[in-house]
Structure 1
Amino acid sequence: MRRAYAVLLALCLAVAGALATAGPAQAAPRTITNGTQFTDVSGNPVHAHGGGIIKVGAYYYWFGEHRNDDNTFRYVDAYRSTDLKNWEFRNHVLTQATDPELAVANIERPKVMYNAATGKFVMWMHKENGTDYGEARAAVAVSDTVDGNYTWRGSFRPLGQHMSRDITVFVDTDGTGYMVSAARENYDLHIYRLTADYTGVAALVADPWHGGHREAPALFKRNGVYFMLTSGATGWNPNQQQYATATSLAGPWTAMTNVGDSTAYGSQTAWVLPVQGSSSTSHLYLGDRWGNSFGGRVNDSRYVWLPLTFPTSTTLSMSWTPEITVDTAAGTVTGTSATYNTLVARHSGRCADVTSQSQWPGAQLKQYDCNGGGNQRFWFRPVGGGYHQLAARHSSLCVRENAASVTQENCDASATAQQWSVTSTGGYVTVRSRATGECLDVNGASTADSAAIITYACNGGTNQQWTRGT
């Protein structure tokens, strides 16, 4: 009996020891909704704007901007995740108190790289004085641990002369570190080779698109081909992304080629993340939908993450999808296929419209002349039981029934006020709320622009009959 007990005790201790030393569980596939403000595992907004991701062991570490209400620098925040969906806040790795130079400053686009020779984590970023954009400096900070407190190493203009604004970093397969930054009032993109410890600029390698007026660079390498993905320089407002390729960072580089739609689906490049797993390596576009572009602040920004595809070894494609499924264990990133429909009122010929193309929760639905805008197109996302959420293409927010109005709100698949059934009759559809059983209705059967859309007892009126267009 004693021997059996001893064996059982030894087995329990071995299991406990194994659990104590085990790493994080292998990540399962996760679905991530696009165009939304991500939250961490504690329910707080993820402030990693303009940021980049580095993988260390089993974890992905995401660094980015966390600003004050006046948009000046507050922190560089660090989060970690194994599955790219569930983010754990780790640390304010750089703060206003880190160094007197940061007490009043703008710190933008922080990117972290690991130097295998020194064992240090090195952060590069764009630094301004907090008042204007006259400094145009690059800055460096270092840490012994990926999510520890970073030590400020100062700011400067590369090689003592070049302006430096939007910035990214890249470690090549031979361990050489590079920094890319927008120079000469954003008219040039400079590729710099870094010093061996990654904390200084050794040489200007290339200025391939002189006068191109590009910013927000992201540099990655796939099967021996370098890709540079950038945006135009239009401030906070989104624009046409372009890319170029080369087989050497020194060039020759191709001319810039358009990718995605004319606004990068309402976003701007922040980073391209290789997701390497057991079966493949996928490349994930990480973009910011800046809050400043829709009347908010940097801290109101949303994230747009899209899978990149490669029709050939030197070409790149990016398409909209309302959500992605990421399997970090396998290394796959796939998009959800979605059809967006308009809802045209039978009695007026006008479309259900989110007012003013608002990105904000609480914006009302009204009828308006049909114009093909994303604020007039909705994805009927199945949620089971014959019900759907209606997700607006422009905002990724869901249509919700309220007591006296219909608005767009943050999507909640469990909220019956966001669940709708769709019934076809005589070539038209009625859209009925699960919560109350009332029908989507143009108030008072008005035919005027800006008439409110509400819910009302279903009565078969033409102001409750809709054509589902594409």
Structure 2
Amino acid sequence: MPPLVLPAAVAGEARTAAVTVAVTNGVQFTGAAGKPLHAHAGGVIRVRGYFYWFGQNAHGNNRFRFISVYRSTDLRTWEFRNHVLTQSSAPELKVAGLWRPKVIYNARTKQYVLWMRKEKKEGDFSQGRVAVATSPTVDGDYRYRGSYRPLNDKSFDMTVFRDDDGQAYLISTTNAQEDLTIFRLTPDYLRVAARVTTLRGVKREAQAIFKRGGVYFLVSSGVTGWQPNQAKYATATRIAGPWSRMADVGDSIAYGSQAAHVLPVQGSATTSYLYMGDRHANAWGGKINASEYVWLPLRFPSTRSLSMRWYPRVSINTATGVVRGLGSGHAYEIVRARHSGKCLTVRWSSRADGAGTAQQPCGTAASQNQHWQVLGLGNGYHQLVARHSHKCLTVPSSSTASGVRVTQRTCGTGANQQWRLTRTTGGYYRITARHSGKCLDIRYGSAASGVRAIQFTCKGSANQQWRRAGAPY
């Protein structure tokens, strides 16, 4: 496509340098002083060269606390701007659940309009409402405008979309989460004017919509609570449809994520489309604010088809618009001992600190205690993070002794949770603890199920060699 001519900077506009940054997937993002960014289930709007990322910022019990906004020019370095909506913003919000905040700008009223899903509280989804707030500035304090059911339909997950012509739409999960309904908004974007169309019987939520080359793409998740599932998409050349049948995109668990937003990254060379997903901590027994993020570049094999593959890191240049994946591998892996063919497993699927590891017959998609995120730390070492518990493979007490049992423990910065993966002959790996230089080993070289994993002096034996493969999810 021809290069885009960008307007000269105006007052208050960020000047975006042609700097390429890299974002690591499957981790919490952090801002100033290493504080986690709480923009869960959120959306992004670009204003005068800045990207503003709105999201949910919850209490420790998962209840609504803030809708927070952060600002960036490069999508990696984020500055906290404001809690734009809080429990004190309106009496109705003192006890409330607000999710999936999305902001669109109304050029006619010169207002930024914030839409959200509203329920009574986490775990009580009887209200089924949408909520609306407005501000004359993108990161100012938003005025709460109230909540309602769109055309009396009970609404669950939702998003909003502003089309090229300025018309805006609400896309809502309706009919007890059986359908997706597209509603046209009033000219001020504050209420629903009419029902445009309904995709019936699709059972989808966590929807994200964008437009590319005159084609609308609607990405969504299945209805499985906090657990990730197969992402799907549908397309149309008119927002009223007809919409295509849902097709799969990505793997069967969307790489451990759920769609939040798709961001067009428009630059001087191209426009890329960035999938922004949440890896919900609730899936491993955590809380919303411990959740992580998965960002992946979308690809378009044809004008109406979509693909997405896993990358451990993503390269972004917001000046040129180029977004591409870095590295290879799988979102989660199994680690199989060469001598026995059995898999490294957290015993009894325990989520407790100190739970031991052993070899067990390799299982199925349900065997999350055998699924490991192999997380590169950028220093030549990796953490091995158990999917079911989100805890790290650990040598207890940083012991350097041979024969010490290897366990799981809450992830930290210790060298006893850092492992070097060295490729050996036959496609196997030696897994070496950083603090001790000793190898991950199955005791006595036994092939029996349930035998413990330990650290031991590296000898190159088959019980110290491990095959990595994608987890069977």
TM range (shorter): 0.7 to 0.9
User: How many Å apart are 1:462 and its aligned residue?
Assistant: 4.4
Kept in 2, the 8 Å contact 1:27–1:82? The answer is no
1:82 and 2:81 aligned: no
Q: 1:191 aligns with which of 182, 198, 209?
A: 182
Q: Deviation at 1:77?
A: 0.8
1:389 aligns with 2:382: yes
Give 1:256 deviation, angstroms.
1.4
Uncovered stretches (5+) of structure 1, i.e. residues with no partner: 1-17
1:213 corresponds to which residue?
203
- Among 16, 34, 47, which residue is 1:56 paired with? 47
1:344–1:466 CA contact under 8 A, matched in 2: yes
Q: 1:231 to 1:443 in 2, by over 3 A?
A: same
- Counterparts of residues 198-237 of structure 1 (less than 5 Å): 198-207=189-198, 209-237=199-227
Specify the alignment match of 2:96 in structure 1.
105
Range that drifts further, 243-252 or 347-356: 347-356
Q: Provide the C-alpha distance between the structure 2 equivalents of 1:22 and 1:315, rounded to a whole number of angstroms.
A: 35
Q: Does the 8 A contact of 2:386 with 2:393 survive in 1?
A: no
Q: Aligned with 1:51: secondary structure? A: strand
Asked if 1:366 is matched to 2:378, the reply is: no
What does residue 451 of structure 1 align with? 451
Unaligned 5+ runs, structure 2: 1-8
Tell me if structure 2 keeps the 8 A contact 1:365–1:408. Answer: no
Select the structure of larger CA radius of gyration. 1
Evaluate the alpha carbon distance shift between residue 348 and residue 127 of structure 1 in structure 2; reply closer, same or farther with a 3 A threshold.
Answer: same
| Letter of the 1:248 counterpart | R
State the partner residue of 1:302. 292
Check conservation: 2:16, 2:318, Cα contact below 8 A.
no
Name the SS of the counterpart of 1:205 in structure 2: strand
- Residue 280 of structure 1 corresponds to 270
Q: CA contact under 8 A between 1:27 and 1:83: conserved in structure 2? A: no
Alignment counterpart, residue 149 of structure 2, candidates 151, 154, 157:
157
- Looking at structure 2, the residues matched to 24 and 338 of structure 1 have their Cα atoms a distance apart, in angstroms, of 33
Counterpart secondary structure, 2:88? coil
* Residue of structure 2 equivalent to 1:253: 243
CA contact (8 A) 1:216 1:270 kept: yes
- SS of the aligned residue for 2:60 comes to coil
Give the superposition deviation at 1:57. 1.1
Counterpart secondary structure, 2:295? strand
Secondary structure at 2:32's aligned position in 1?
coil
Cα deviation, 1:58-101, whole Å, max 9, x if unaligned, reads 21111111112222211101111111112111111100000000
SS for the counterpart of 2:282 is: helix
Aligned pairs, number = 447
User: 1:187 & 1:269 partners in 2: Cα distance?
Assistant: 18
Bigger CA drift: 100-109 or 65-74?
Answer: 65-74
Are 1:129 and 2:120 counterparts? yes
Q: How many angstroms does 1:311 deviate by?
A: 0.5
Tell me the distance in 2 between the aligned counterparts of 1:267 and 1:236.
Answer: 9
**Partner Cα distance (2:153, 2:468) in 1:** 55
- The alpha-carbon deviation at position 247 of structure 1 amounts to 1.0
- Which range is displaced more, 452-461 or 143-152? 452-461
Residue by residue, what CA displacement relative to the aligned partner does 1:172-198 show, whole Å, maximum 9, x if unpaired?
Answer: 111111111111211121111111111
Select the residue among 79, 86, 89 that pairs with 1:95: 86
Contact 1:50 1:64 in 2 (8 A): yes
For the pair 1:35 / 2:30, whether they are aligned, the reply is: no
Check 1:446–1:376 CA distance in 2 against 1; reply closer, same or farther (3 A cut). Answer: farther
What root-mean-square deviation, in Å, do the aligned CA atoms of Structure 1 and Structure 2 show?
3.1
Q: Which amino acid aligns with 2:138?
A: V
Cα 1:468–1:36 shift into 2, 3 Å = closer
Q: For 2:301 and 2:433, locate their aligned partners in 1 and report how far apart those are by CA, in whole Å.
A: 43
1:120 has 2:107 as partner: no
The alpha carbon displacement at 1:133 in A equals: 1.2
Report the Cα distance in structure 2 between the residues aligned to 1:55 and 1:113, rounded to whole angstroms: 10
Q: Give distance in 2, aligned partners of 1:137 and 1:281.
A: 34
* Shift in Å, 1:25: 5.4
8 Å Cα contact 1:397/1:411 also seen in 2? no
User: Per-residue deviation at 1:41?
Assistant: 2.4
Deviations, residues 263-298 of structure 1 (Å, cap 9, x unaligned): 212211111110111101011111112222211122
> Which SS does the other structure have where 2:137 is aligned?
coil
CA distance in structure 2 between the aligned counterparts of 1:86 and 1:358, rounded to whole angstroms: 36
Matched, 1:332 2:319: no
Please tell me whether the aligned partners of residues 370 and 376 of structure 1 are also in contact (alpha carbons under 8 angstroms): no
Q: Which moved more, 1:69-78 or 1:427-436?
A: 427-436
Partner of 1:3: none
Provide the secondary structure at the position in 2 that maps to 1:309.
coil
Distance 2:301 2:24 in 1: 25
Q: Which residue of 1 aligns with 2:304?
A: 314
Q: 1:32 to 1:69 in 2, by over 3 A?
A: same
Contact kept in structure 1, 2:55 and 2:100, CA below 8 Å: yes
Distance 1:457 1:268, change over 3 A: same
**What secondary structure, in the 3-state scheme, does the structure 2 residue paired with 1:126 have?**
strand
Give the residue type in structure 1 aligned to 2:192.
Answer: V
Counterpart-to-counterpart distance in 2, 1:185 and 1:268: 20
Distance change in 2, residues 1:382/1:107 (3 Å): closer
Cα deviation code 1:109-143 (max 9, x no counterpart)? 11011111221110011111126211111110001
Letter in 2 for 1:260: G
Whether the 8 Å contact between 2:49 and 2:73 is mirrored in structure 1 is yes
Identity %: 47
Change (3 A) 1:380 1:163: closer
Q: How does 1:345-356 map to 2 (within 5 A)?
A: 345-353=337-345
